[in-house]
Every structure is written in C-alpha cells, then in structure tokens.
Amino acid sequence: MKVIITGGCGFIGSALVRMVISTTNWSVVNLDALTYAAQPANVGEAEGNPRYKLVHADICDSTALDTLFASEQPDGIIHLAAESHVDRSIDGPAAFLQTNVVGTFELLQATRRYLQTQPEAKRNAFRFQHVSTDEVFGALSENDPAFTETTPYSPRSPYSATKAASDHLVNAWHHTFGLPVVMSNCSNNYGPYQYPEKLIPATIIRALSGQPIQIYGRGENVRDWIHVEDHVRGLLKVFTEGKIGESYNIGGYGEKRNIEVVQAIIAALDDFQPRTDGTSYAAQITYVTDRPGHDFRYAINPAKMVQDLNWHAEFSFADGIRQTVQWYLANQHWWQAIASGATQRIGTNVVPFQPEKKQA
C-alpha cells in the first residue's frame, strides 16, 4: 500500500509518518508545504528509508496535486495539513481560510479526478481520511457531557471555524460525489516534536530559559489531552478499519485545567532538572490577560473508537507528561534551533522517544 500523508513534517503528521514506517510495510509520500511549524527532521528514522518520500508542495496547488496523484498512484490519503494555532488565527485568519478550507477543497477535487482514472477495484479500496479537532464542537460548561460524534458543530474561533468548514466539505464530497471518506476529531495532543508555540512545549521551554511561564486568565480553562502516539494509533485504526462515511472521536480521557497541566510540567522539571537556586519553577508562573473568545472546556467521548474499533489510549497523562518533559530535556538542540531559525541545520540528530511505561 502507498499512502499520501499531508502535513507529515508537522507535529501529529510526523508522528504518523514515523509510526507507519516503523510498524507497517506501507510506502509513505509526505506532502508538506514546509511552512513555519513543519520540520523535515521530525520524521526521524523515516528519512533515508526507501519506502518514504518527502514532496514539497502546497495542497492549494491543484496542478501539483494532479501531478503527484498521477506519478505516485496512491491507495489512500490521510489529510492532516492545517494551520492549527488559535492565537495565530485571531491575529491573521486569512492563512487559515486558505490552507484549511481552500486546501481541503483542492485535495478533495484532486482525489475525485484521480479516482475517475482508476479501475473499480482500486476505487473501492481507496480511502480519504480527514483529521479534525474537537474545537469544531464549540465550548462546554463545567458539567456538560463530553463531545460525541453527533454533537452539533459550534466553532468559536477563526481556527475552529475553518476546520469545521473543511469537515463539512469532506462530508459533502462523500454524500454528493461518493468520495470514500472517513473522518476523525481529536482532543489536544502533546508529546515529542510539538512546535514550541503550543502550551506544553512553551511551558517547558520558558521554564528552562528562565522566562515567565504565562497562563491565560487564572488557568481554569479545561482541555482534554491525548498523547500523540495514542492519537496516531487511533488514526491508523480509523484508516484501516473505520466505516466509510463515518466519523470517530479520538480522546484520551485526559481532562485537565491549564493550571494543572503547568503544575504537572513544573513537578517533572523540578525532579529531572532542578533550578540552580534550589527553588521550584513555580516561581516563574505569571498570569496574563485572557485571549479573546477563550473557550472554557473541551472534552471528547471516545466510546465509539473503543467499542467499534477496539482502540483505547495507552498513555496516562501523568506518565505521558513526564516522558514528554524528558524528551524536551534530551533534545534541547531541537527547540533551540527553531528559536534561532536554524532548523535546516539540525538534521536527524534527535534522541529517540523511548517510553518508560505506558498505562491505560
């Protein structure tokens, strides 16, 4: 099998590339525009593997997509390429509309054109997997039940609105044109290789750099966390076993207030690399003005994944966050190179992520 993975140099995409190369005999074509958050070094051991190819192209470029499909003749596509940072979507929403909406449209159209040229057996076996977020469902109050696959969409940021639009496009192309799609919505991911602008790596890096550890409001907002390796295992389950036209929520039962996440990181740093003055990194916590439209709570109910696909998260948040902190400590050259703009020089000299223990 040959699969195209879009956005395979990003955080989640690269984790998927690494897992596919290491656990299957599939070939992977990594289609990535290599924007600011994409790091070719993230694919690690996949580089140099004859079953792996990186193609530098934009999903908004229909000519490039047609050429790629014609030359590679893929058996499926897993679409992760997206602009994903809420703060950036508030400051500059145009890029989110272009990549998340227009890019998904162009990819759907290119897939349609390609499948029209294929024999029936290949058309029937092909899958277009679209990867989305829990943020499309809007916000929950303290006691609301977690999101399910049937929760009405109610996006509240430019980022989530563009992801919701792309979800609707994928669903429409399935029902109108018969495109063989499967979809998934995930909760907040964390783990190795996450770009430093996101909460967990930003907290680790600010702590180690002696900078203020910034928390919006009072840190009471709740997010549902899942380790990236659990997520990509779920993606492979959906791709290989999910039912055409169905959507699946992938979550790790990991609801935490933002302040609890920061406190867990600080506890790990205090253990693994204490401050030279002997005090806790907690001294660096500072509270800043909340961002506009900050949703209070997200939570995913993954019961359908568990029951229909026999998938469950293996990492507890307690174990996963400590292992993540260890990875950032062992690979400081990775995020320091990003901070200095020297990302093209870091190559693959990254310490592999070796989980010490997984706990359901």
Report which DSSP code applies to 133: E
Residue of 257, 179, 187 lying closest to 226 (CA atoms): 187
Please write the tens of the pLDDT for every residue from 133-186: 999 999 999 999 999 999 999 999 999 999 999 999 999 999 999 999 999 999
Of the residues 32, 83, 106, 134, which is catalytic? 134
CATH number at residue 18: 3.40.50.720
What strands, in cross-sheet order, belong to the sheet with 188-190?
188-190, 222-227, 255-257
> Cα separation of 286 and 115, whole Å?
53
Report the alpha-carbon angle 304-172-293, nearest 5. 70
Q: Please check whether residue 224 lies inside any domain of the structure.
A: yes
Whether 86 maps to a domain, the answer reads yes
Report the sign of the C-alpha dihedral through residues 157, 158, 162, 165, in that order.
positive
Q: pLDDT value at position 37?
A: 87
Distance, CA of 41 to CA of 58 (rounded, Å): 19
Per-residue model confidence (pLDDT) at position 340: 73
Q: Which tokens in the block code for residue 26? A: 């599939």
341 contacts: CB under 8 Å, gap ≥ 6: none
Residue 135 known to be catalytic: yes
Query: What φ, ψ does residue 333 adopt, rounded to 5°?
Result: -60, -30
Task: Give me the catalytic one of 106, 135, 167, 224.
Answer: 135
CA-to-CA distance for 284 and 220, rounded, in angstroms?
Answer: 18
Contacts of 237 (CB under 8 A, 6+ apart): 305, 309, 310, 311
Is residue 144 part of the annotated active site? The answer reads no
Look at the chain and report how many structural domains it folds into: 1
* Residue 156, helix vs strand vs coil: coil
CA pair distance 21, 320, nearest whole angstrom: 22
Q: Say what the alpha-carbon torsion angle 301, 305, 306, 307 is, to the nearest 10 degrees.
A: 110
Which range of residues forms the domain containing residue 327? 2-290+297-345
- Asked if residue 134 belongs to a domain, the reply is yes
DSSP states of 2-18: EEEEETTTSHHHHHHHH
Burial-class residue 78 by CB neighbours within 10 Å (0-12, 13-18, 19+).
buried
| Residue 334 amino acid letter | W
- pLDDT by position in tens, the chain (length 360): 999 999 999 999 999 999 999 999 999 999 999 998 898 989 988 988 999 999 999 999 999 999 999 999 999 999 999 998 888 898 899 999 999 999 999 999 999 999 999 999 999 999 999 999 999 999 999 999 999 999 999 999 999 999 999 999 999 999 999 999 999 999 999 999 999 988 999 999 999 999 999 999 989 999 999 999 999 999 999 999 999 999 999 999 999 999 999 999 999 999 999 999 999 999 999 999 888 878 899 999 999 999 999 999 999 999 999 999 999 999 999 999 887 764 433 333 344 344 333 433
159 counts as catalytic: yes
For residue 13, tell me if it sits in a domain. Answer: yes
Q: Does residue 352 lie in a domain region?
A: no
C-alpha atoms less than 13 angstroms from C-alpha of 209 in its C-beta half-sphere: 16
Flag whether 350 is in a domain: no
For 246-261, b/e burial (b = at least 16 CB within 10 A) is ebbbbbbbbbbebbeb
